Chain A
Amino acid sequence: MKNSQFNSHDVKTCCENKLDIQFKDGGELNGWYLLEGKKVRRVTVSKGRKELKPKTYKSMASQLGLSVEQFDNLLDCSLGGQDYQSLISAALSPGSAETH
């Protein structure tokens, strides 16, 4: 788990740049990932550049439908937007054991 290498701003920037997530400013930042025009994943990120605690990091990964390792890869650049789209498409395809 690479939570100590990133902060909340890194997650926000990565979600915006790689996944085209647009965040809405509320108490926290919330954004939806759209697949084929439908909202399929929703992630919550703290404002500012806050340290990411382990369970919070896992929760963000889970919200995006990723394992912690996949989330690590998303943040450190080895998992791209197209890769993510493929993962989510597969997860949402009929017969898959979908989790949040």
Chain B
Amino acid sequence: MPMPRPKTILISSGFPMEAAQSLQFGSYITWGVATVTFVHGYCTGYADGQRSMAEIISEESEGEAMTLRISRLKTKELNLPLDILVEPDADGFIAKTPDLPLYGYGDERDEAISNLQSEIETLYEDLMADDNFSEEWLQIKAFLRGRVVN
């Protein structure tokens, strides 16, 4: 009997941060024990030496959710990557991060991720403007202040 396929591609916690940060798009995933890296859709590594990341996503995720990490926003860098979940939403995709109450929608995965990156940056700018926030937002402000590099 074949193993059931998970709906989420998991991130490798052991992936070197400096390597992730050196990627222009800054994302990497693992599938099982294998790790692949990519730069905005271009595979730069192979999961098992046989399949590219694009092949893995198309073959294994079957259109279901996947997670990845970003290490930059639209114009700002992150000193530690943020986990991103991208999943189908009707005929498009929605990207979210468990760390922030935000989402980005797009017709394609990349567009959803890009919109979420914009959302994070816009939120960061909102939060840095003043301190007139509830306690939960002040905690998010502290979180982002520690993550975002101007």
Chains A and B come from one and the same complex: yes
- Measured CB to CB, the residues of A under 8 A from B are 24, 26-28, 30, 32, 35, 37-40, 42, 44, 46, 53-56, 59, 62-63, 92, 98, 100
Which residues does chain A contribute within 8 Å of B103, judged by CB atoms?
Answer: 44, 55-56, 59, 63
Which residues does chain B contribute within 8 Å of A92, judged by CB atoms?
Answer: 134
What 0/1 readout, one digit per residue, does chain B (41-52) give for beta carbons within 8 Å of chain A? 000000000000
In whole angstroms, how far apart are the Cα atoms of A59 and B91 in the complex? 16
The reply to whether B132 and A38 form a contact with Cβ atoms under 8 Å apart is yes
In whole angstroms, how far apart are the Cα atoms of A39 and B118 in the complex? 20
Enumerate 21 A-B pairs (CB-CB under 8 Å) in ascending A order. Answer: A26-B118, A27-B119, A30-B119, A30-B122, A38-B133, A39-B133, A39-B134, A40-B134, A42-B123, A44-B119, A53-B94, A54-B89, A55-B87, A55-B89, A55-B103, A59-B94, A59-B103, A62-B101, A63-B101, A92-B134, A100-B136
Q: Is the interface of A mostly helix, strand, loop or mixed?
A: mixed
Question: From residue 113 to 143 of chain B, which have CB atoms closer than 8 A to chain A?
Answer: 115, 118-119, 122-123, 126, 132-134, 136-137
Question: From residue 68 to 111 of chain B, which have CB atoms closer than 8 A to chain A?
Answer: 87, 89-92, 94, 96, 101-103, 105
The reply to whether B105 and A46 form a contact with Cβ atoms under 8 Å apart is yes
Return the contact of A39 from the options B90, B91, B102, B137 (Cβ within 8 A): B137
In whole angstroms, how far apart are the Cα atoms of A35 and B136 in the complex? 13
Which residues does chain A contribute within 8 Å of B122, judged by CB atoms?
Answer: 26-28, 30
Shortest CB distance A21–B (Å) = 13
The reply to whether A39 and B136 form a contact with Cβ atoms under 8 Å apart is no
Q: A53-B94, A56-B103 are in contact. Are A40 and B137 (CB under 8 A)?
A: yes
5 new A-B contacts at CB < 8 Å, known A27-B118, A53-B89, A100-B136: A30-B123, A38-B134, A44-B103, A55-B87, A55-B90
Shortest CB distance B113–A (Å) = 13
Shortest CB distance A45–B (Å) = 11
Which residues does chain B contribute within 8 Å of A55, judged by CB atoms?
Answer: 87, 89-90, 94, 103
